[in-house]
Structure 1
Amino acid sequence: MTQESRRSTATRPPLRPPAEPEAGRTRLGLCSVTFRRLPAAEVARRAAAAGLEVIEWGADVHAPAAEPRTVRAVREVSDRHGLACCSYGSYFRATPAELAAFPAVARAAVLLGAPRVRVWAGSTGSASTSPEQRQATVHCLREAARIAADHGLELAPEFHGNTLTDTVASTIQLLDEVGADNVCTYWQPPLDIPAEQALAGLVQLGDRVTAVHVFSWWPGNQRLPLADRGYLWATALSLLAGRGVEALLEFVPGDDPAVLTREVGTLRRAADDAAPVRRS
């Protein structure tokens, strides 16, 4: 394998509002799915203790859209630890069968104080999706974007395999097809793609990237310390510097909460060293 670089829970911290973001600064955070097995209060405590400032709460375990009481409790936990919810990690796949449920997703995002809803662009990869299926996904995303806008929200599909955002070209095409001002995209390094190729895709997506999911997998989905792909992330954060995006840790080695502080330290050093890259 090639290396590409080489409080007690009984004591509650005082309620403190999340810090206001500074224009253009990359904010560091955590996806709650990283620690699915931990209760939301413990996820928030660990994120704050590691020095993170934002969190993407997932709808699968911690903040289900159909459970507003749970969502409110998660918001209270975030506020107690000074964490801003930067996005609501929904699993809305923009299919006709799911569209009727999206207003509840938008309401959950509002309860969390999230400005953005992360969604999935369909359930099939771009190469295996028929024109009719693609058009249905575009229609659903457009309608979801309208509902999101009515709630003051941004919408962003995850850059992920087996969806219409599985390649840079298909992602750009999809955003153009949806044609909504409040729709942008996430980015993450595709599996088994060398760093330079992955970074070239990030450059192509340009200002359409609103947040990145940060992890170190190589080869396949083998989870490595973030430092093992240090070049990838140092360069990515330089490309993103000055654009006000969020870099959100996801899937640490072994799903081990004990390594969070180490991984955050690696990410913070990369962010502190990042200088904006001039684009022609």
Structure 2
Amino acid sequence: MSTFEPGLCTVTFRSLPANRIAELAAEAGLAAVEWAGDAHVPSGDEPIARHIGRISEKAGLATSYGSYVAPPTDDLSIFRDALDSAIALGASNIRIWPGTRQRDSKDYSVSERHSAAAAIRDMGAEAARHGVTVSLEYHPQSLTDGTDSARRLIDAIRHDNVYLYWQPRPGLSLGDALAEVAQIGQHVSHVHVFAWDAGRNRFPLKSASDYWRAVLVAMPASRWTGRRFAMLEFVANDDPMAFFEDAATLKQILER
């Protein structure tokens, strides 16, 4: 098992201010925060990014930048704005969305997939110049909405600075989850952690402890060499108390 440290995606608390989120994460004993580009660290607003970077550093939290750049719909100039925010934030990693958002991978032509891979390759190269890694969201209605498409995409990108996230589609069985990580785990940087059913109803993470423990134990060795984070994303009722319970559960999962 590759060692993961506990973290938080700030989209979990979209309505809370950054200083309160940092306080919650530090109080829960987490190691990192992925700041949402559509809520707390707007793309291209470097003064805010620097301010939140200082808040994070003071709280002892490593940072990642959760952008909503979606190549090839978004081009390199748009990516550079997000990258500038990531750098100002002090983030070592920037997340992007592969392909046009809200579009299934099966609907892409061969040439469209080629264009997406080329755009992401260029973004990975640009980020590498600044010591920032690029990770692709692993999500329904994207070019990483399934294992086969994700693997084909990462193989087409062919860039050492581009990685995959992993998260289960809501309701994904443990057997299917284990099959997915076996196939793409060598490319995985970080994971997003939650407990949802197929209807997207949220449950305490404790109810999925065995599921997540099995998945993380089975995660293959990765070409990723930096710190790795298992980041909580969304909690029941957006409740800070539910967050503290889930954070405690996550730390227990990662300790075993």
Q: TM-score range by the shorter chain?
A: over 0.9
Q: How does 1:1-280 map to 2 (within 5 A)?
A: 25-85=3-63, 87-123=64-100, 124-240=103-219, 244-273=227-256
* Cα distance in 2 for residues equivalent to 1:100 and 1:179: 21
User: Contact between 1:25 and 1:242, CA under 8 Å: does it hold in 2?
Assistant: no
* Cα distance in 2 for residues equivalent to 1:35 and 1:59: 13
* Cα distance in 2 for residues equivalent to 1:125 and 1:141: 18
**In the alignment, which residue of structure 2 is the partner of 1:21?**
none
Which amino acid in structure 1 is aligned with residue 65 of structure 2? Y
User: Contact between 2:182 and 2:219, CA under 8 Å: does it hold in 1?
Assistant: no
Which amino acid in structure 2 is aligned with residue 94 of structure 1? P
Pair 156,109 (structure 1): closer, same or farther in 2 beyond 3 Å:
same
* Cα distance in 1 for residues equivalent to 2:189 and 2:31: 16
Tell me the SS of whatever aligns to 1:30: strand
Q: Which has the larger radius of gyration?
A: 1
**In the alignment, which residue of structure 2 is the partner of 1:16?**
none
- CA deviations 1:165-187 (Å, max 9, x no partner) are 11111111101101000011000
Residue ranges of structure 2 left out of the alignment (5+ in a row): none
**Count of aligned pairs:** 249
Residue ranges of structure 1 left out of the alignment (5+ in a row): 1-23, 274-280
* TM, length-normalised to structure 1: 0.85
Tell me the SS of whatever aligns to 2:162: coil
Which amino acid in structure 1 is aligned with residue 120 of structure 2? L
* Cα distance in 2 for residues equivalent to 1:229 and 1:33: 21
* TM, length-normalised to structure 2: 0.93
Percent identity of paired positions between Structure 1 and Structure 2: 36
Q: Return the offset for 1:96.
A: 4.4
* Cα distance in 1 for residues equivalent to 2:95 and 2:46: 18
**Root mean square deviation of aligned Cα:** 1.5
